[in-house]
Amino acid sequence: MRQYLALILTAGFGLAVAAGMIVLSVLFGPKKKTPVKQEPFECGMPPAMEPRGAARVNFYLVAILFVMFDIEIVFLYPWAVSFRQLGPGAFCAMAAFLAVLFAGLIYAVKKRALEWD
């Protein structure tokens, strides 16, 4: 049980902060909805134009690709730090991992996911 104490304390602290934010927003948040309070607010100025609608799919594709390659770095950094101790088996596993990610990048480029029209 003692070995999980730090994990339990961290999770408890995170849940307490989240619950505290929700409670504070309910207690101190706006109670009456007025047209002025319902207007979009940006940089202290009234909106210059009406919104154009939903964002194009390219924004979502770029976000997904960013997350994919960001996760790649999360796995690549610890492997690079302990490269000498891991041996050739880890090198082959990382080469296969990078090959799959590179194939995904080639697919995205061929599908023109990174081009803006």
Q: Does the domain spanning 2-110 belong to CATH 1.20.58?
A: yes
Confidence of residue 42 (pLDDT cuts 50, 70, 90): low
Among 2-11, 61-70, 74-83, 108-117, the least confident range: 108-117
Measure the CA–CA gap between 105 and 99, rounded to whole angstroms: 10
88, containing H or E segment: helix 88-110
Amino acid at 71: I
Domain ranges of the chain: 2-110
User: Are the beta carbons of 108 and 65 closer than 8 angstroms?
Assistant: yes
